[in-house]
Amino acid sequence: MSFNQQDTVIRFDIVKNRRKFFIGSSAIIILGLVFILFQGLHLGVDFKAGTRLDLFIGKEFKPADVEAVIKQSIPNIAFSPVTPYGTHQAYTRFDQTVSSDKMMAVEQGLKAKYGDQVTKQVSTVDPSIAQEMVKKAAVAVVIASIAIVIYIAIRFQWLFGIAAVAGLIHDVFIPIAIFSVLGLEVDLTFIAALLTILGYSINDKIVIFDRIRENLRTMKSKSIEDLEHLVNVSLWQTMRRSVYTVATVFFTVLAIAVLGSESIRNFSLALLFGLVSGTYSSIFIAAQIWVNLKERNMLKKKAKA
Amino acid sequence: MIKWGRFLLFLVVVALLGTLVATTTTQVASNITLGLDLQGGFEILYEVEPLDAGHQVDIELLKSTAHMIEKRINIGGVAEPVITTELPNRIRVQIASQSADQDKLRELIGKPAVLTFRDESGNIILRGSDLAPNGAAVGYDDLRRPLVTVKFSDPKKLEDVTRVNLYKRMAIYLDENLQTNPTIQSVISGGSAQITGDYTQESAQELADLLNSGAMPAKLIEKQVTSVGASLGALALQKTIYAGYIGAALIFLFMLVVYRMPGMIANITLVGFTYFCLLVLDWMHATLTLPGIAGFILSIGIAVDANIITYERIQEEIRSGKTIFSAFRSGERRSLITILDAHFTNLITTVVLFYFGTSSIQGFAVVLAMTIIVSIITNVFGSRLLLWLVVRSNMFNKPFWFGVKESEIGEL
Q: How many residue contacts between A and B have a Cβ separation below 8 Å? A: 211
Decide if B220 contacts B361 (C-beta within 8 A).
Answer: no
Higher-scoring residue by pLDDT: A127, B84: B84
Kindly state whether residues B399 and B333 are assigned to the same domain.
Answer: yes
Residues of chain A with CATH 1.20.1640.10: 18-44+128-304
pTM over 0.80: no
Kindly state whether residues B224 and B208 are assigned to the same domain.
Answer: no
> For residue B102, how many other CB atoms are within 10 A of its CB?
16
Look at chain B and report how many structural domains it folds into: 3
State mean pLDDT over A18-35.
Answer: 92
Kindly state whether residues B242 and B367 are assigned to the same domain.
Answer: yes
CATH architecture observed for domain A50-125: 2-Layer Sandwich (3.30)
Q: Are the beta carbons of A148 and B258 separated by less than 8 Å?
A: no
In whole angstroms, give the CA distance from residue B129 to residue B116: 9
In whole angstroms, give the CA distance from residue B117 to residue B173: 6
SS3 B358: coil
Structure ipTM over 0.90, yes or no = no
pLDDT at B276: 92
CATH number, domain with residue B209: 3.30.1360.200
Cα nearest neighbour of B305 on chain A: A245
Kindly state whether residues B100 and B120 are assigned to the same domain.
Answer: no
B164, B180, B213: which is the final residue of a domain? B213
Q: DSSP state, B286?
A: P
Q: Among residues 225-244 of chain A, which lie with CB inside 8 Å of chain B?
A: 237-238, 240-241, 244
In whole angstroms, give the CA distance from residue A201 to residue A290: 16
Cα B255 versus chain centre, distance: 33
Range of the domain at B153: 115-213
Residue B370: pLDDT over 50: yes
Cα nearest neighbour of B240 on chain A: A260
Of A196, A254, A261, the CB nearest to B236: A261
Q: Which of A138, A74, A133 is nearest to A108 (CA)?
A: A74
- Tell me if chain B has a CB within 8 Å of the CB of A104: no
In whole angstroms, give the CA distance from residue B220 to residue A203: 43
Percent of chain A with pLDDT over 90: 31
Kindly state whether residues B251 and B343 are assigned to the same domain.
Answer: yes
Q: Are the beta carbons of B291 and A195 separated by less than 8 Å?
A: yes
- φ/ψ (deg, to 5) at B134: 50, 35
B158, B179, B213: which is the final residue of a domain? B213
Kindly state whether residues B22 and B126 are assigned to the same domain.
Answer: no
Q: Distances in Å between the alpha carbon of A273 and those of A174, A184, A266?
A: 7, 13, 11
Kindly state whether residues B151 and B288 are assigned to the same domain.
Answer: no
pLDDT at A3: 44
Q: Which of B372, B288, B304, B289 is nearest to B30 (CA)?
A: B288
Percent of chain B with pLDDT over 90: 12
Residue A43: pLDDT over 50: yes
Query: Given 3.40.640.10, 3.40.50.720, 1.10.240.10, 1.20.1640.10, which CATH number is that of A18-44+128-304?
Result: 1.20.1640.10
State mean pLDDT over A143-155.
Answer: 89
Task: For residue range B18-52, list pLDDT tens digits in order.
Answer: 998 888 888 888 888 777 777 777 788 888 887 77
Residue of A51, A91, A213, A264 to mutate, interface with B, max B Cβ within 10 Å:
A264
Of A140, A245, A263, the CB nearest to B352: A140
> For residue B103, how many other CB atoms are within 10 A of its CB?
11
Listed ranges B50-54, B104-108, B200-204, B329-333; the one with the highest mean pLDDT: B329-333
In whole angstroms, give the CA distance from residue B110 to residue B49: 12
Residues of B in contact with A192 (CB under 8 A): 290-291, 294, 360-361, 364
Kindly state whether residues B252 and B371 are assigned to the same domain.
Answer: yes
Mean pLDDT, chain A, rounded, equals 85
Residue A105: pLDDT over 60: yes
pLDDT at A2: 39
B228, B259, B291: which is the final residue of a domain? B228
In whole angstroms, give the CA distance from residue B48 to residue B89: 5
- Confidence band, pLDDT 50/70/90 cuts, at residue A7: low
CATH number, domain with residue B223: 3.30.70.3400
In whole angstroms, give the CA distance from residue B237 to residue A263: 10
Kindly state whether residues B144 and B47 are assigned to the same domain.
Answer: no
Kindly state whether residues B302 and B371 are assigned to the same domain.
Answer: yes
Kindly state whether residues B258 and B398 are assigned to the same domain.
Answer: yes
Kindly state whether residues B303 and B154 are assigned to the same domain.
Answer: no
